[in-house]
Structure 1
Amino acid sequence: MRNSNWRERFQNFMEGRYGQDELSHFLLVVTLIVIIINFFTHSAFLGIVAGLLLVWVYVRMLSKDTARRAEENRRYLDVKDRVVSFFKGFGSRSGHDSSAQADFRIYRCPKCGQKIRIPKGHGMVEITCPKCRTRFRKRT
C-alpha cells in the first residue's frame, strides 16, 4: 500500500515536467566520465564540473518549460547526427553507402593485385581484370 502511494506522489510531482531525453542521458554519461577521471586526479575543478553537470541534468529533467527543453534536445540530436555522419564517411574509402557494400564482393587479381568489385549472388563467374586482362574464376 505504501509503495503505490509513493509511486502516485512521484507521478503527480513529475506531471507537466520534462523528464529524461537523449541529451540528459548524454550529460549523465559525461558526468560519470568526469567523476571517474576526478577519482584518479583528485582535481577540485573536475569535482565542480561534475557537480554542475549533475545540477544541469536535474534542472532539465524537472523543468516545466517543455518546449525549451525539447528544442535543446533537438539541437543536440542535430549536432549528434552531423558528427555520426561525418565519422561514418571514414568507414568506406570509396564513399559508397555501407548497405550498398553488402551487395558486392571484392576480389584481387592473382597477377597484378588490382581490386575488382563483383555483384554478389551470381554463382561462379569468370572475372577479367581491367588492368592486366588476366581472367580468373570466383564464386560470388
Structure 2
Amino acid sequence: MQHVEMRVVDGRPRLIEVNARIGGDMIGHLVRLATGIDLPKAAADLACGHSPDLTPTRRGAAGIRMLYPAASGTLTERQINQPFAAHTPWLRQVQWVRQVGDQLLLPPEGDLFTARAGFCIVTGRDTAEVNERLDTAVDEFTVTTQADR
C-alpha cells in the first residue's frame, strides 16, 4: 500500500510525496464510500502478514470540499440550508471543525488548516458528478467572519 501525491504544474505532473502508507485525513473514508474497500483494514491485514480483501463492493466516486470563509476573522456564523441537507442523499457528511467565536486565519496570516471551518463529503457515479455536486453543496453553506480590530 502506498500514498502518492502529484500536482500538475505548467501542464506537467510533479511528484510531491511517496510513502508506504494509506492517504491521510479523510482519504480512507472516501475510498470506502466510492468502492467499499476498507483501506485501514487492508493496511492492518498487510502489517499482520495477511492478504487484504481489495474486492470493490461498489463502483462510484466520492469527494470532499473544505469550507473556508471569504476573509480572516472571528467566525460569526456557520450553517447549512437544512432543507437541502435533509433531502439530499448524496450529501454524505457535513462536519464543522470550528465553533462560532473561533479565529479563522487565511494565508498569509494563517494556513488552510487555521482557516478551515468545516467540510462536506458527497458521492456520485463518477468524478464529474461528484465535482458538480460539491459545487452545488458549497452554495448551500454559510461561513461568515467578522474582521478583527
Same fold (TM over 0.5): no
For the pair shown, which has the larger CA radius of gyration, 1 or 2? 1
Q: TM-score normalised to the size of structure 2?
A: 0.24
The structure that is strand-richer by fraction is 2
Relative contact order higher in (CA < 8 Å, ≥ 6 apart): 2
The structure that is helix-richer by fraction is 1
